[in-house]
Chain A
Amino acid sequence: MNENYNISSSPHIRSKVTTGSIMLYVIIALLPATIFGVYTFGVPALLVVLITTASAVITEYLYQKLMKKKVTIGDFSAALTGLLLALNLPAEAPWWMCVLGSVFAILIVKQVFGGLGQNFMNPALGARCFLLISFTGRMTTFVYDGVTGATPLALLKAGESVNLMDMLIGNEAGTIGETSVIAILVGALFLIAMGIIDLRIPGTYLASFVVFIVVFGGHGFDLTYVTAHLCGGGLMLGAWFMATDYVTSPITKTGQIVYGICLGVLTGLFRLFGGSAEGVSYAIIFSNLLVPLIEKMTLPRPFGKGGER
């Protein structure tokens, strides 16, 4: 008698959550911000989203085919990278910039370093910074309501006043996905409810940023000034959707808090004392590089050696 049932090491059951389902949930969570961006900036924004996402997926497919690797576009991670990059671009970005950004994100930042899980830097943000350095003019020209205008952060830096309500809703100039704080928060709440992200990184990021602004901003605890800084630029999109990227954030719980504080301080530093009004992208990719160090410093104590509490 030899029935040859399947054998494997235990456990013999698996949870339903897969890499693909996680990525898909994040894409769904980005939809409110995407739809709002397309609604505000019109057809050009839709084109940027479509071109960037499609070229990210195609790049991954071609690379993996060429390298005779298993094609993994089915896990939606390339699509997510493309979408995140699109939300970080101005609606006026020409098609070739979208493609170039996606190719850079997937090829240089992700695949060359070993593909999913191996990249040491958020691919979408890596590509954004690459484009920002290469095409500063195009990347920082924002058209809102038919006129080229400064972003609220630029106004803030110049010492002018901003409309807080407009910043919350998103009636302002900026990249496609960063303008509406409300739309971003709706997506973030969805991710928290689904257990995909928790408050550790975004919470410490925003809190330490506020502390930095209050101490060094020169306005003391001025609620309008602080709120404007919180709602302006890429902070919300970055804190909820890019700083929380699993691959490029620490896996240890304490490390996530340290990482959040690094992000807050660096963002404040770049925004207040840097040359540009923005600082989120650089703060995140810089902190990405610190992750291995942070993890090493924050190794948890195991059960029975103090880690049980």
Chain B
Amino acid sequence: MALFTFKGGIHPNDGKSLAKDKPIVSVLPKGDMVYPLSQHIGAPAIPIVEVGDDVLVGQKIAEAGGFVSAPIHASVSGKVKAIEPRFNPTGTKVNSIIIENDGEYKEIEYPHVKPLAVLTKEEILKLIGEAGVVGMGGAGFPTKVKLSPKEPNKIEYVIANCAECEPYITADYRRMLEHPEELVSGMRIVLRLFDNAKGVFGIEDNKPDCIEKLRELIKDEPRMEVKTLKTKYPQGAERQLIYATTKRAIHSSMLPADAGCVVDNVETLIAIHNAVVNGRPVTSRIVTVSGDDVQSPGNFKVLIGTNQKEVVDAAGGFIGDAEKVISGGPMMGFAMFTLDTPITKTSSSILCMTNDAVAEHEPSACINCGRCVDACPSRIIPSRLADYAERFNEEAFVKWEGMECVECGCCSYICPAKRQLKQSIGSMKKIVIANRKKRGN
């Protein structure tokens, strides 16, 4: 059978065998909990608790700071210790609420939720927004906003991003294997919002067990189908996934809704299920701890705000002296200089590497081999764009379509000269955006 896919991409060593067969284990935190007020794209949340306040599990501690924003909830019971800037996994200091965990996990009384059948669309969206659901694959875009396009009737596809194309990460895989009903329930809820839409689960063909399980589960759901995708990075990138499943292509100044699509990943759909069916806010997520420097790699259910060090310890800690620790996948994740940062809504994994592949090679001259061109899913010319970026040649950078870069990192991965192509192009994109803003004012 022909597999659904896109042009370009790479096939890195996927490292998934390390944690693939490890069932999800819950980790209970011991230390203080840190809740950064920016765990999402958009305005930071605004604290609604004060230092010294007692809080319960599930209690809202910060409310959305704008339309594009999301509230934050406590995942433990205890006392608010401080509200101060702390390092988040991306290495920036963000204002955070710190809660001393009393270890009792006393919950608030969750409001009674009406059955899905009698909920109105507005009520569903409100529940999702109030639960603080954001894109949990890594981007962190507030889900309520994503699910409120201008013309909901023009949405024809709700795509569940089950690709999990980043190497090493198996969190979504375990979710699909252990809780497929919750995933399907999440899809059912989103389909309620879009009357003309079909639900498509896009899964890479390296997860045949999940494909089989989901097919079995949705066999009586006329509006849902499973599409098998070719295993290739970045199959789970939004534009590539939309193209693979619907053959519709969008560029940088279009939204998925312009192609009649809405995309949510596995963890997000399950959070939607929890919000609407159980009335529970986002207080935990699945985190894969893996890499060649971890004693026993595995998948863990971790409370948001837990110190990353505790999560690595739950996996047995390091084997040796890790040289690099990554929050997220090896292709798009962030290298962390310290493990003293919290798990946030977008932390899909912690990878501990004995060797830093980036430091092993000094970048050398481009030999024009074109491997980056072959690999680029955006079909642009990374090597030339990096040249323009390094010379701050904004005009040429834009003319050669540098703004179309999705920063997947395929070019840097494949480059035989080990040039930091993605880094140069990504920085230049930020400069161009900043300059455009400046000119606009």
Could you tell me which A residues sit within 8 Å of B by CB distance? 1-15, 17-19, 21-22, 72, 75, 77, 115-118, 246-249, 251-253, 299-305, 307-309
Contact = CB atoms under 8 A, between A and B. Distances in A.
Contact of B335 (A6, A17, A247, A302): A6
Interface of B: 6-7, 10, 12-13, 91, 167, 239-240, 243, 249-252, 254, 309, 322-326, 330-340, 351, 353, 356-361, 364-371, 373, 377-381, 383-384, 400-401, 404, 409, 412-418, 420, 422-423, 426
Chain A: interface secondary structure? loop
Contacts of B322: 5
A190 B12 CA distance: 23
Contacts of B339: 1, 3
Given A5-B337, A251-B373, A303 B404 contact: yes
A8 B337 CA distance: 10
Given A251-B370, A308-B379, A6 B251 contact: no
10 contacts: A1-B338, A6-B356, A12-B330, A22-B416, A77-B367, A116-B365, A117-B417, A246-B370, A308-B6, A308-B243
Contact of A9 (B167, B325, B420): B420
B355 to A, nearest CB: 9
B323 A22 contact: no
Given A251-B373, A303-B404, A10 B379 contact: no
Contacts of B413: 11, 13-15
Given A10-B333, A15-B414, 5 more contacts: A11-B409, A246-B367, A299-B401, A308-B7, A308-B243
Nearest to B409: A11
A119 B333 CA distance: 36
B378 A302 contact: yes
Nearest to B418: A14
Nearest to B352: A5
Contact of A117 (B337, B368, B423, B426): B368
Given A8-B358, A10-B331, A305 B324 contact: no
A5 B422 contact: no
A302 B404 contact: yes
Max chain B Cβ within 10 angstroms of own Cβ: one of A116, A251, A302? A302
Max chain A Cβ within 10 angstroms of own Cβ: one of B324, B325, B333, B358? B358
Contact of A5 (B323, B332, B404): B323
A83 B149 CA distance: 62
Given A5-B336, A21-B416, A252-B381, A303 B251 contact: yes
A304 B250 contact: yes
Nearest to B258: A304
Contact of B401 (A7, A13, A302): A302
Given A2-B337, A6-B358, A302-B380, A252 B404 contact: no
B358 A3 contact: no
B86 to A, nearest CB: 12
B368 A246 contact: yes
A304 B365 CA distance: 31
A247 to B, nearest CB: 5
Contact of A251 (B7, B383, B409): B383
B356 A4 contact: no
B379 A302 contact: yes
